[in-house]
Structure formats: structure tokens, C-alpha cells
A = this chain, B = another copy of it.
Amino acid sequence: MSTRPAPSAPLQNDPESPIMTVHTASPAAPTSSPTAAVLGAHPQATTDADARKAAATDRSGYIPSTLPDGVVVARGVDDVVEALRLAQAHGVPVVPRGAGTGLAAGASAHEGEIVLDVSRMNRILAIDPVEMTAIVEPGVINAEVNAAAAQHGLFYAPDPASTAICSIGGNIATNAGGMWCAKYGVTRESVLGLVIVLADGRILRTGRKTIKGVTGYDLNALFIGSEGTLGVVVEATLRLRPKPVRTETLAAYFADIEAAGRAASAITAARIQPSILELMDGPTLEAVDLAEGTKHRELGGAFLLAQTDGYGAHLELDEIVQAISPYATSIHRAADAVEAEALVKARRDAIPALERLGRVSIGDIAVPRNRLAEAFTGLEDIAAQRGVRIFSVAHAADGNLHPMLVVDPHESITEGPAKAALGDMFHLAQRLGGTLTGEHGVGLLKREWVGEEIGETSRSLQQAIKGVIDPAGILNPGKAI
């Protein structure tokens, strides 16, 4: 349940980061165009080249070939309304942007588009400790919500690995998951209500303040996960939960990832509901060790992190030990919160560790839980066939794998072997009865496979819904559906 403070500067502004090297043929902003009309009229707009570069992409590894024409840095709801009204009047595409930590290029922006940055709308407006809710602006960092909730014995369950740097607005846009989701649900299950600015500047309120409510259609769920294509979230009412009275944690090591996968299945078969169940393969352990000076790889070729919580957490962890013992080479039960946090940290360190090795493209397939072992084998086959490096971690309790492709910092992930491998991963997931994306979203990177997954009837309905909510099509065009 621990949280880390947000870094002092947002990572997307880090000049050292290879993903910020945006290649562009036209760094100057246009002076006479629909976008210029919008940017000229909005008090919070900038056409500064650095601002445009910083707002051009996310942490997906995708590098746009052009820059957006400008950025509106919203300080409040009125700025968002004004930006969308102007954009609609001039027919200008708008890319909503939060902390820029997305992994599917959903917040990538190009020439002819403007970025609407809500990261400065970052206040926690209210915490109601009796009702167990928080009302927040979209730019609030996920970990900050948890830090504020912790003061009241509460927590906010959806915790992406990027908790220290990702913002609630982006979590809502992607229906983000995290490590606690198998037990506590994803973002959708923790967002009671939203205030949204529609493409035409109207304010829409979805959901409610109460835990339950079924008046009318579930627009709340429709907007959650819509990746900025239906509206811009300017406020959210979040559901907080009682912080578990007791938490127990273990890490287990295995000869290989298949053995670890069998151990995860044994936990499910024993009808245990861990609050965290995470797998990492040997290559990922090596990368973590290299970055952090730890020695995980010496202990095994795969790593399983398990946490239980509640009044009987210790008894439930006993059951996990019993279920996995036939498969594990060693099991390390945390003696206290400090040891537990060190084990959890190993998992949170995976992505930053891999980012040191090169440009990372993080896959996000989900498969039925009982097909995890097949998925790992399939990923090894893809790596061998395409000649790419794939590192794998997985939220084992809900069948969500993150195969991470690591390429040279100047190599592309949208063409060549990396792109082919991404397509292979989707077809692997599909063959196993799974899905293209468990929690990161479709963005720009996975859009070509969406139709194949959801089918023509669903896609045409989704496009029709987009058509009535954003008839001018200005919101994040080319993303998600």
C-alpha cells in the first residue's frame, strides 16, 4: 500500500530520455491556419517549440514524424471549455493530454492538431472520510490520491506500475489497471462519477455520488476507457476503500516461467484470492538486477510476487505457500512491511529497468488465466522467429501479460520486426481466447487490430456512438476505435 512521491519534474520533459527525441521536418508553428486561429484566441495557448515537443508523444516508444501545432495548458474548466469551443468552431483536432505516461500512443499529437494539456489541473478538491470518496481534478497524480487517502485509513485501488507519475485523467482515459485489480477491480470499479467537457463545450455529469445507482444508461462506463475520443474529464469522484488491516507478502523463485505459471494456476485452483499476484521472467529479473544492484536472477529463472490482505491475510498466505511449494525453488516470506515493500519494488522497477536497455514497447495482451503458460511459450516463439528481445511480466491473477519489446534507442517500434512482433502478440492473444489490450488502451499503436477483435457490428456501433457524441470528430481522431 505504500506510495512513492511524484518526481519533481514530469518525465516527458526529461531531455535525457530517448523517447523525447522527436524527429520533425517542420519545427515552426504555422501562423495562418485553423489551428493558428484557435491558438491565437486562447489565453492559455503556446506555440513554443519545446512545449510542442514535450506534448508530442507519451511513454509508448512511438515517435511522431511531425509536431502538434500548439498546446493549450488548461488551468481550469473554463480553459477546457474555451479550447473545445474554439476547436469545434475551426474544425481543429484536439488531443487531450495528462501526465504523458500512456503506453499506446493515445496522447500522441501531430501537425494540424493541438494538444489540450490538463496536467496542471491537479488539485484534490475533497476527501470525504465518512463516505470514503475523493473528488479530484484530472491532473492529480495517482500516488498522491493514495497518500491523501492513507491519512484516513483508506486507499484508492487502481494502481498502475506508473503510480508515482501517472495522473487520474489518464487512468480514466485508459481504464487503467494495476497490481491490486484482480481483487479490487480496475479504474471503472473505482470511479463513481465524472464531470466531462464534451466536444461542443457542454458540461456532462455522469455517474453519481452514491455507491450504487442505475438511473439511465451507464455513460460513466462509456467514457471510462474511451481514450479521450468522447470528451475531456475535468473532475472525478473516486471510490476509496478501507485500507486492509493486515497485509502479507511473499516472493517465490522458480526454475523457469512455465513453472511459475503453473504455481499461479495452483493458487487459482485452490480458490485463493490474492490481492497481488505478479509474474516476472528471468530476463526481466536480470534487467532489474542490473539497474538496481539486486540479486534476484541468482535465485531463479522466474519470480512470483504474492500478497494477501484482510483480517486473515496470514492464514491466506499460508495457503499460497502450500499451493506453490511443489513448483518453487525458494519462497521468501516478508517478515515486516519494509521487506514486503522491497519485494513489491522489484516488480515496480521492471519497466524503468528495461527503459535503460533501449526503446521499450510494452505489450498488454490478456488471456484466460488458465492459458498463461501457453502465452509465455508463445511469446518465446515470437521472440525467436522475429529476432527481437521480449521481456515478460504478468498480472497473473487476471491473465494480463506485459511482453516488453526492447529495441535500439533509434529503432522504430512501428515498423520492421518490432511491429511484426506486436501483431504476432495480438494474434497469439486471439488464438488463446484473449484480447489485444488488458489495461493500456489501443491508442494509435494497436488500432489496426481492433476491428479484427471486436468485429464489424461492434465497431460500426462504436463509431456511430462516437458520431453522436462528437459529431465534428475533433476529439483525438485516429485513436482507439
Q: Which residues of A contact B (CB under 8 A)?
A: 128, 130-132, 153-154, 174-175, 177, 181-182, 185-186, 188-189, 198, 202-206, 208-219, 221-222, 224-226, 230, 241-243, 245-246, 265, 268-269, 271-273, 308, 310-313, 315-316, 319, 366-370, 395, 398-400, 433-442, 446, 450, 453-455, 457-459, 461-462, 464-469, 480-481
Contact = CB atoms under 8 A, between A and B. Distances in A.
Given A175-B218, A218-B224, A311-B312, A435 B213 contact: yes
B209 A217 contact: no
B399 A211 contact: yes
B212 A399 contact: yes
B465 A369 contact: no
A214 B440 contact: yes
A210 B366 contact: yes
B462 A219 contact: yes
B481 A216 contact: yes
A392 B224 CA distance: 34
Given A130-B269, A131-B369, A273-B242, A438 B214 contact: yes
Given A213-B437, A214-B439, A442-B215, A467 B468 contact: yes
A188 B221 contact: yes
**7 interchain residue pairs of minimum CB distance:** A311-B312, A312-B312, A221-B221, A242-B271, A211-B398, A213-B435, A212-B438
Contacts of A459: 216
B210 A368 contact: yes
Nearest to A318: B311
Contact of A189 (B189, B310, B312, B436): B189
Given A242-B271, A312-B313, A458-B205, A370 B218 contact: no
A214 B434 CA distance: 11
A216 B366 contact: no
A338 to B, nearest CB: 23
B312 A174 contact: no
A329 to B, nearest CB: 25
A13 to B, nearest CB: 27
Contact of A219 (B203, B206, B245, B458): B458
A455 B205 contact: yes
Contact of A185 (B189, B203, B468): B189
Number of copies: 2
Given A210-B366, A212-B366, A245-B271, 17 more contacts: A131-B368, A174-B214, A181-B212, A188-B218, A209-B434, A210-B368, A210-B434, A213-B437, A214-B438, A215-B436, A217-B230, A243-B271, A308-B311, A310-B310, A310-B311, A461-B468, A465-B465
Given A202-B457, A366-B210, A465 B311 contact: no
B461 A204 contact: yes
Nearest to A271: B242
25 contacts: A130-B370, A175-B214, A175-B218, A204-B461, A209-B368, A210-B435, A210-B438, A211-B369, A212-B366, A214-B442, A215-B450, A216-B453, A216-B458, A217-B225, A217-B481, A218-B225, A222-B222, A308-B311, A310-B312, A310-B316, A311-B313, A311-B319, A312-B315, A461-B468, A461-B469
A214 B206 contact: no
Contacts of A221: 188, 218, 221-222
Given A224-B218, A468-B461, A438 B213 contact: yes
Contacts of A245: 271
A378 B462 CA distance: 43
Contacts of A313: 311-312
Nearest to A364: B214
A311 to B, nearest CB: 3
A4 B140 CA distance: 47
Contacts of A175: 214, 218
Contact of A454 (B189, B215, B450, B454): B215
Given A130-B370, A271-B242, A369-B130, A400 B457 contact: no
A308 B242 CA distance: 14
A454 B241 CA distance: 26
B435 A271 contact: no
Contacts of A211: 182, 366, 369, 398-400
Contacts of A130: 265, 268-269, 369-370
Nearest to A130: B370
